[in-house]
Structure 1
Amino acid sequence: MDYHVWLAYVVTAIVFSLAPGSGTVNSISNGISYGTRKSLAAIAGLQIGLAIHIVLVGAGIGALVAQSAIAFSVIKWIGVVYLIWLGIQKWRDTSSVTAMAEQDNRSAWNLMRSAVFINLTNPKSIVFLVALFPQFIDPNGDQVTQLAILGVTTVAIDAMVMLGYTSLASQMGRFIRSDRIMAKINKVFGSMFVGCGALLAAAKS
């Protein structure tokens, strides 16, 4: 792969990762609630989901999902229900930062599993990758190698962006000690999860 083509893809991937979405909301919410260290599991989960999408796209299944209204709709509505459920749970969460620090009731494994599911049930990610990858792959070159380069680049950039969101949110959490403020923040993020679900519901293949 030509170096200049790769650099162009890096810029595109950064924009893609910075764009607000359910993964971004998840990273910020976890950063405030659990801090950076524990949220690393969720970031890893998001990347696992993204990596699975990349593999599916490479295997040609992504093109099928992009072209099949039924496959797209099934994945989409699973994601819609899950995001709305997360939003309702977050809206009803009345835990303060201090209480969460003492209880620490969500394991790293649960955070990772939830994050994997959030990315897996976002078919727009597959459609985006299906539309994006061909623009940067030379049909005369080794497509497997090129796909691997683009995939690793995508995951690495998204992981760094999510880590940045989580770290900034964690710093915010250190200054939040009021139960009333935390309750309002939980409602904001709950609304954002529901909003992501609504946007996903409006998505078309």
Structure 2
Amino acid sequence: MTLTIWLTFLVAALFISLSPGAGAVNSMSSGLRYGVRKSLPTIAGQQFGYGAQIVLVGAGLGAIVASSTTALMVIKWIGVAYLVWLGIQKWREPPVEASRGDLAGFSKRQQFWNGALVNLTNPKATIFLIALFPQFLVADAPHGPQLATMGATLILVDILVMVGYAVLASQLFRFMTTPRRQKQMNRVFGTLFVTAAAALATFKRA
């Protein structure tokens, strides 16, 4: 992969991560509630899910999943149900103390797997990667190193963008000092999760 091709891919990866989606909503929701540092398990989980998708496609299994209507539908509706569940949980989430020193219910493991499931149950990522990778692969060069480079680029860019989303959301915390405002914000994020679920539910392969 030449530098020019990689730079083009880098720009594409940046736009992909910046585009609003379930991952961005999840990162912002976590950043608002827990702050940036305690949101890192959520972001790490999302990258685990994203990385699994990349490995799946790179190994050729993504094509099998993408070609199987049943497999794709099962993954799709699991993802829809999970996002709806996250939205309901966020809608019902009680306000927290104005200080982030001790947030009840904080679990690094739970946040990690919540983040992982958001990306693992998103079949659009599989379809997208199958469509994206061939556009940048050099046919007469070994594919393994190229796929590894693209996968690492996607994950590193997504980490930076998701941390940025968490930072942006965490800055809102100082305005969320009253239970009423926190409840309103929880309902906004809950609605966004359900909206993401609706978008996933309407996803159809070309």
So what's the TM-score if we normalise by structure 1?
Answer: 0.97
Cα shift at 1:103: 3.4
String of CA shifts for 1:89-113, please: whole Å, max 9, x gaps.
1011122343765333121111111
Q: Is the 8 A contact 2:29 2:189 kept in 1?
A: yes
Counterpart Cα distance in 2 of 1:139 and 1:43: 33
Q: Which amino acid aligns with 1:15?
A: F
Instruction: For residue 174 of structure 1, report the CA deviation from its aligned partner.
Output: 2.6
- Correspondence 1:65 to 2:65: yes
Partner of 2:125: 125
Q: Distance in 2 between matches of 1:135 and 1:24?
A: 25
Uncovered stretches (5+) of structure 1, i.e. residues with no partner = none
Residue type matched to 2:153 in 1?
A: T
Task: State the match for 1:34 in structure 2.
Answer: 34
The match for 1:108 is: 108
Cα distance in 1 for residues equivalent to 2:203 and 2:102: 40
Q: Distance in 2 between matches of 1:186 and 1:99?
A: 17
| 1:138 maps to 2:100 | no
The equivalent residue for 1:172 is: 172
Q: Which runs of 5+ in 2 are unaligned?
A: none
Identity, % of aligned pairs? 48
Alignment partner of 1:174: what SS? Answer: helix
CA apart distance, 1:139: 1.3
Using the TM superposition, give the Cα deviation of residue 172 of structure 1 relative to its aligned residue in structure 2, in angstroms: 1.2
Q: Does residue 94 of structure 1 match 2:98?
A: no
Residue identity matched to 2:193: F
CA contact (8 A) 1:97 1:176 kept: no
Secondary structure of the 2:158 match is helix
8 Å CA contact 1:33–1:97 kept in 2: the answer is no
Question: Is 2:74 aligned against 1:74?
Answer: yes
Contact 2:44 2:112 in 1 (8 A): yes
Aligned length: 205
8 Å CA contact 2:34–2:103 kept in 1: the answer is: no
Give yes or no for the alignment of 1:186 onto 2:177: no
Please say if residues 97 and 182 of structure 1, whose CA atoms lie closer than 8 Å, have aligned partners that are also in contact: no
The equivalent residue for 1:15 is 15
**Does the CA contact (< 8 Å) of 2:97 and 2:103 recur in 1?**
no
TM-score, normalised to structure 2's length?
0.96
2:197 and 2:175 map into 1 onto residues whose CA distance is 29
- Following TM superposition, by how much is the alpha carbon of 1:71 offset from its aligned partner in structure 2, in angstroms? 1.0
The two structures, once aligned, show a CA RMSD in angstroms of: 1.2
Shift >4 Å, 4+ stretches: none
